[in-house]
Structure 1
Amino acid sequence: MKPRFLLGAALIAVPLLLALGGPLLAGPAGPRAVSFTPGQGHWLGTDFTGRDVWRQVLLGGRPVVLVALAATALTYAVALPVGLAAALTRRTWLEEVLMRPLDVLIAVPSLVLVLICAAALSPGPVGLSALVALVAVPDAARTVHAGAVEVAARPAVEAMRMSGESWARIALGYTVRSLRRTLAADAGTRLVGALYLVSTAAFLGVGVQPDASDWAVMVDRNRPGLDLQPLAVLVPAALIAALATGTNLLLDAALQRGRRGARR
């Protein structure tokens, strides 16, 4: 195995295991007692409110991971059909109608869009997933469109049209298969971007309750007491960074392997 794959697997394993199994191991909350130093039943000490930091770490990963995965899936559920429809249509006006509104959304900074839309959404994972997906859809759709336009110009696509193949077969059976490496690389970028936006939104208190058990909320909640209890900030921040970096390394390794296989 290549070092990049091994490093990516090692980085992603810890936060994923904590996100998936952490809530099962957290157990009930004990009595609060401020103890910044690890020990006395608190492996990582407590934060300034008396919450056990290790228990918060165990509980805080699942919301971040699930919302990022849901937002990425929702992004492609919208971006893929829009990008394919705009690229494969022979009607210029339809392509303009589908793509030009996305250009307007891209011009708005993502954090500004998050703050604007958050005012209309109630806190919760569903609303936060939809919000992150809304921010990511324009760029993802443009990526799909750019790749599909090149595929649509191939003689094979014209031959499929002349033979009476359905749009679904042309779009999904041929175009998406031709773009699978591009989409895989883009999906990794989208997932990391979703992690960033989910963490940033939680850090700003958008879409989540301020007392939620969430890694990003932990960073924000304990930031003022960083000098007294650094573990309450550094541990969740390191787990988010490891998850994002590991995801990119694993996808890079998979794409490199795919390129080598295609040359053989």
Structure 2
Amino acid sequence: MGWRVVYVVLVAVPLLCALVGPVVATYAPEGTQAPFGPSAWSPFGTDRLGRDVLAAALTGGHTLVLTTAVTVLCSYALGFTIGMAAASTRWSWLEDLIMRPIDVLLCLPSLLIIMVAALRSQGSAVAIAVAVGFALLAPITRFVRMAARDVVSGPVMDALRMQGASRWYRYGRYAAREIARPVAADLGVRIAAAIYFLTSANFLGIGFDTTSPDWAVSVAANKDGLAAVPWSVFLPGGLIVMLVVGINLLWDDLLADPRRLAVRDAIRHG
């Protein structure tokens, strides 16, 4: 439980900065100050545009968090539906018809998909989010198909099917219970992957413009002032790292096997 508190803090700090930060940032003084110099509002200094580093960090994560959430949920909803359809069908030709386009999509480099979408749309945030969703779709679909295939084709399912149509609710309930843990674990992986793709696009300059306070953009744009005002890079970069590491650690702790946790606690207190 002690470590879980640490994991929650790691996730909560960047989330609070992203969701509540824009409100707090309104108290920062308007206008700009000397670039890469001291700030009158916080001890973190100013960035290359003369904005307060803390104020920029408080406003720079909102779009990243919301875009990640919407993109992952939409991708997982579609990928889960396609994967379950492929796993449930008894016709091999239909499964091939469903999965072969997914296999082709899986062969395409994810960053290439995002770069093409960004260049064709002149850096549209919506187009980049859609491209990230497509990059996540193929691995999600294949994972769900793999996780559900043994469940829907197992002896328990065969027994439930033979009980008739009135028992289909039991069929769905059993399938959901069996695949809930692996799907939940994979969801955490996809959240981290979406953050990686979105921040990579912004860091490479194919997402938001260089004046955006976005965390990844700030890291890329302020690197020339790292020696003068290191917080201009460390603060937004640290928030990204905290979010990704915290999600992975917290997700792993929440979904850990209770028996493994019991053994770990026994060793720790023994």
- Paired amino acid for 2:12: A
Could you tell which deviates more after superposition, 250-259 or 240-249? Answer: 250-259
| Mapping for residues 194-209 of structure 1, pairs under 5 Å | 194-209=194-209
Distance in 2 (alpha carbons) for counterparts of 1:238 and 1:227: 17
Q: Is the 8 A contact 1:74 1:130 kept in 2?
A: no
* Map of 1:153 onto structure 2: 153
Contact kept? 1:32, 1:50, Cα under 8 Å: yes
**In 2 relative to 1, CA 172–53 (structure 1 residues): closer, same or farther, beyond 3 Å?**
farther
**Deviation sequence 1:50-97 (CA, Å, 0-9, x none):** 122111101011111111111110111111010000001011111111
> Structure 1 unaligned runs (5+)?
none
User: Cα distance, 1:215 vs. partner?
Assistant: 0.7
RMSD: 2.5
- C-alpha contact 2:29 2:41 (8 A) present in aligned 1: no
TM-aligned CA distance change 1:165 to 1:202, over 3 Å: farther
Q: TM-score, normalised by structure 2?
A: 0.88
Tell me which of the two structures has the higher relative contact order, counting C-alpha pairs closer than 8 angstroms and 6 or more residues apart: 1
Q: CA deviation at 1:228?
A: 2.5
Pair 1:17-2:16 in alignment = yes
Of 173-182 and 13-22, the range deviating more from structure 2? 173-182
Moved more, 232-241 or 47-56: 47-56
Deviations 1:119-170 (A, max 9, x none): 3446454333322111001001100000111112212212333334489847
> What CA distance in whole angstroms lies between the structure 2 residues aligned with 1:92 and 1:214?
46
Residues of 2 paired with 1:259 and 1:59: CA distance?
A: 42
Task: Write the deviation string for residues 11-64 of structure 1: whole angstroms up to 9, x where unpaired.
Answer: 112111111110111116622121534443343111122122111101011111
How has the CA–CA distance of structure 1 residues 205 and 259 changed in structure 2, closer, same or farther, with 3 Å as cutoff?
farther
Equivalent position SS for 2:255: helix
Percent identical across equivalent pairs? 37
TM-score, normalising length: structure 1: 0.90
One-letter amino acid of the counterpart of residue 93, structure 2? W
The answer to whether the Cα contact below 8 Å between 1:67 and 1:128 also exists between their aligned partners in 2 is no
Counterpart for residue 229 of structure 2: 229
Q: How far, CA to CA, are the matches of 1:257 and 1:41 in structure 2?
A: 47
What residue is the counterpart of 2:44 in the other structure? 44
In structure 1, what is the Cα distance between the partners aligned to 2:259 and 2:66? 30
